[in-house]
């Protein structure tokens, strides 16, 4: 009777056949899957032994490089760890020799890692903060007021947290971004539509007027002084005392500023003359007259003796000790690799000029590699590692190293794509 009924309703028969068939197939798959799963669960667990890699990092942290989430040994080219850190890309990495750990700095805190990338401790804030130059304390905004806290680096936690102001005027999320000048005692920061001066010792807050043009270049590296020209006077304003040293200059159009340490500032005047201000002596003297129009001065040598003046694709090197101008051809991404030797990159379609170059002041330029090193917005991807007695630079194809003289450059790490982030381990300020 059922068969007769099914013959009268073939569509129903088809549906029933599909249901029965699929159920049978699923049953067979389930039995096999359970058997395979049981076999996997019973299989011995293989734990990778990272002791050799960890020992290598601990023995030579200055020869280890962080490249786009991976960790490499510069001597062997070996990728020690893939996706080494689980966080986003850090701003800086510090090697802590006492504990043999790595401290990663992020815009909202710090994370301490073991050499294999395992997290050991974390100090995290909700929003970005201001960190002092000596890494001893930080400032942050909470409930629209400024707070100060010391950093216990051993336990990676904040201590001596103290509310500085009581005005409810500051933006918690953008406080660090709004800071214009900062010293250990004083802060110049935007608060809403105003620029205010904050006394970090007693919490006083007062509106202030200050020329903001090029303030990033006009302030000293320690944040305590700012130079400029106003009403025919060259001034150096002390942030903490609110006093200004002045020198009459009349019409004095300054194109650019460059601090050479905390006590001296070089300026280009009217595109033709380089002058040097000595803060301690409160003097302003001419250094050189430039052979061409220049509107930018930058890239000082480590000891502040040399700096580059640039204008319309050409440049010269200024020697502040000898008060001399040195012609240079150069390229892009200028970086000093020693007190008197700088590197530059040339990415051009000329085989006689293309590559990575070094030049020692007073000598001819010399090419150390046919491959030019990468140049990003932050500058050239080349660094001098004095402790390892090597120069490291990143190219489109990988990482290359050479001795400090640049005589034995070779590619040590091959990469599938050009790196976007290259960091080495630094020594954290004590």
Closest by CA position to 137, among listed 161, 154, 118, 117? 161
**Residues of the chain predicted below pLDDT 50:** 3, 5-6, 39-47
Query: 299 lies in a domain?
Result: no
pLDDT at residue 335, rounded to an integer = 94
Whole-angstrom distance, CA of residue 256 vs CA of residue 309 = 10
User: In 10 A of CB 27, how many CB atoms?
Assistant: 10
Query: 80 lies in a domain?
Result: no
Query: 17 lies in a domain?
Result: yes
Largest CA distance in the chain: 117
First to last CA, the chain: 94
pLDDT at residue 44, rounded to an integer = 46
User: In 10 A of CB 274, how many CB atoms?
Assistant: 24
Query: 27 lies in a domain?
Result: yes
User: In 10 A of CB 346, how many CB atoms?
Assistant: 20
Give the count of domains, the chain: 1
Q: Are 370 and 355 in contact (CB under 8 A)?
A: yes
pLDDT at residue 266, rounded to an integer = 98
Query: 19 lies in a domain?
Result: yes
Task: Tell me the sheet residues that pair with 92.
Answer: 105
Helix (H, G, I), strand (E, B) or coil at 83: coil
**Dihedral sign for Cα atoms in the order 69, 74, 75, 76:** positive
Whole-angstrom distance, CA of residue 248 vs CA of residue 242 = 19
- Residue 38's domain comprises 2-42
Query: 345 lies in a domain?
Result: no
Whole-angstrom distance, CA of residue 307 vs CA of residue 317 = 6
Whole-angstrom distance, CA of residue 14 vs CA of residue 17 = 5
pLDDT at residue 9, rounded to an integer = 54
Task: Tell me the sheet residues that pair with 26.
Answer: none
Whole-angstrom distance, CA of residue 216 vs CA of residue 292 = 26
pLDDT at residue 29, rounded to an integer = 60
pLDDT at residue 314, rounded to an integer = 84
Query: 13 lies in a domain?
Result: yes
Query: 25 lies in a domain?
Result: yes
Whole-angstrom distance, CA of residue 83 vs CA of residue 291 = 51
Closest by CA position to 125, among listed 105, 101, 155? 105
3-state helix, strand, coil in the chain (%, to 5): 15, 45, 40
Closest by CA position to 301, among listed 257, 363, 258? 258
Q: Are 361 and 319 in contact (CB under 8 A)?
A: yes
Here the tokens at position 375 are 């140049």
């Amino acid at each position: 009777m059922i068969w007769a009924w099914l013959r009268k309703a073939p569509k129903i028969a088809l549906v029933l056949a599909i249901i029965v068939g699929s159920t049978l197939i699923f049953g067979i798959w389930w039995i096999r899957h359970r058997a395979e799963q049981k076999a996997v669960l019973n299989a011995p667990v293989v734990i990778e032994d990272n002791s050799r890699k960890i020992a290598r990092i601990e023995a030579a942290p200055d020869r280890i490089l962080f490249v786009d989430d991976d960790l490499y040994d510069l001597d062997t080219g070996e990728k020690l760890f893939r996706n080494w850190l689980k966080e986003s890309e850090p701003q800086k990495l510090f090697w802590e020799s006492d504990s043999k750990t790595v401290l990663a700095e992020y815009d909202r805190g710090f994370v301490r890692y073991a050499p294999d990338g395992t997290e050991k401790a974390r100090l995290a804030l909700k929003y970005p903060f201001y960190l002092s130059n000596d890494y001893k304390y930080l400032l942050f905004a909470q409930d629209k007021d400024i707070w100060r806290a010391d950093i216990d680096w051993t336990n990676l936690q904040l201590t001596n947290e103290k509310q500085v102001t009581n005005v409810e005027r500051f933006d918690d999320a953008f406080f660090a971004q709004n800071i214009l000048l900062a010293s250990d005692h004083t802060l110049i920061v935007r608060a809403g539509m105003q620029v205010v001066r904050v006394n970090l010792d007693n919490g006083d807050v007062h509106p202030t007027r200050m020329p903001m043009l090029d303030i990033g270049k006009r302030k000293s590296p320690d944040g305590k002084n700012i130079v400029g020209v106003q009403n025919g006077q060259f001034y150096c304003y002390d942030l903490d005392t609110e006093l200004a040293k002045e020198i009459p200059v009349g019409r004095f159009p300054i194109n650019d500023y460059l601090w050479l340490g905390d006590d001296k500032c070089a300026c280009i005047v009217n595109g033709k003359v380089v002058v040097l201000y000595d803060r301690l002596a409160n003097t302003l003297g001419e250094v050189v007259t430039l052979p061409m129009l220049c509107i930018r001065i930058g890239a000082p040598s480590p000891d502040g003796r040399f700096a580059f003046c640039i204008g319309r694709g050409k440049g010269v090197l200024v020697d502040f000790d000898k008060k001399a101008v040195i012609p240079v051809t150069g390229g892009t991404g200028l970086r000093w690799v020693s007190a008197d030797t700088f590197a530059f990159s040339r990415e051009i379609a000329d085989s006689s000029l293309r590559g990575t170059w070094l030049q020692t002041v007073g000598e001819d330029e010399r090419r150390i590699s046919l491959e030019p090193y990468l140049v990003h917005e932050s500058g050239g991807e080349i660094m001098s590692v004095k402790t390892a007695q090597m120069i490291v630079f990143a190219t489109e194809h990988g990482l290359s190293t050479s001795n400090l003289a640049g005589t034995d450059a070779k590619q040590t790490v091959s990469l599938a794509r050009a790196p976007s982030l290259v960091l080495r381990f630094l020594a954290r300020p004590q």
